[in-house]
Amino acid sequence: MTERPILIAGRNGQLARCLHDLAVLDSMPVVSLGRSEFNLEAHGELRRAIDPFAPSMIINAAAYTAVDLAESEVARAFSINRDAAAALADVAWQMNIPFIHISTDYVFDGTKLDAYDESDVPAPMNVYGASKLAGEAAVLAAHPLATVIRTSWLYSPHGNNFVRTMLRLCESQPIVKVVQDQCGNPTSALDLASAILQLSARLLIHDRRAMAGIFHLAGQGETTWHGFAQAIFDLLAHRGIRVPQLEAITSEQYQTAARRPRNSRLDSSKAERVLGIRLPLWLCSLETCLDQLVEGSIDAERNCAGRGQRNSTVSNHEGGQQAATAHL
């Protein structure tokens, strides 16, 4: 392994944090850059911010992920998800180093009956998905040997995600309503980070051409948002935490600015076949995540003491009841 660091863009995101922590544990040289080091919307200045680190490769885990807000901030979503991604890929290409870019299941419209594979034609149904799809094309145009990884329903002990939201709602709501007609593959950011670091090690010593292009990489198994919430509450109840009553609702009953795909399932068989990478079953990884949250995090302690706060970006309050939906 080279002593030159892997550079991670998007330091404060949940995947970037998992990547950094695991790299440190594995004694891999790594540096994470966030807003204080560079401005993703100042595309021409990115090379100047990156040069001093002389990275061995770049992993772009930075993105504009406010799905609903993107409907009214179209230019900013595309500036970050397309133009900044392309600029970072171009820097990596000019430096002759590997580039890994993270994308999303939201590039699809959810109308397919089966899980989506890499040969399916994307058709995003919201601005966020369109900006991420444009980012994929821009990255591959700027860096033909880049690896683009689409993932779905990402969660971890860090940041803003569905698991942490459900944990917070346990303290404040007697009833939680969650959509039941959207299905996908919950993906642990810790699992994904581990897989990306395995791939990174190979990219640094093997022919990149075999690992170039688009790959789906998501947790094994599928569920709905309602099923995901039920699993979370069952595991929390087993740990002695009070959980609210869970009710199923339809997408029509929980209106959001951006439409979500009904089917977000990703077929990850290509990654297993070509890269030899397969993520664990989502339910097993969920239990690991909850162990970390309940046993070690400040938020979990606040949950038990009843002092947390609600997440207004994914919830709607009415009559003491709570609705929640996808927000990746």
The conformation of residue 3, written as its DSSP 8-state character, comes to S
**Distance between CA 155 and CA 292 in Å, rounded?**
12
> Is 265 in contact with 223 (CB distance < 8 Å)?
no
State the greatest distance between any 2 C-alpha atoms of the chain, in Å, as a whole number. Answer: 59
| Active-site entry in 116, 128, 155, 254 | 128
Instruction: Please give the Cα distance from 7 to 2 (Å, whole number).
Output: 13
> Helix, strand or coil for residue 276?
coil
Q: Which residue has the tokens 């069952």?
A: 234
128 is catalytic: yes
Element (H, E) at 179: strand 175-179
Pick from 79, 78, 83, 23: nearest CA to 55 = 23
Q: How far apart are CA 117 and CA 137, in angstroms?
A: 17
Q: E strand or H helix at 132, and its extent?
A: helix 127-142
Are the C-beta atoms of residues 223 and 183 closer than 8 Å to each other?
yes
Separation between Cα atoms, residue 151 and residue 243, nearest integer Å:
29
Cβ atoms of 9 and 33 closer than 8 Å: yes
211 phi/psi in degrees, rounded to 5: -110, 10
Catalytic machinery residues? 128
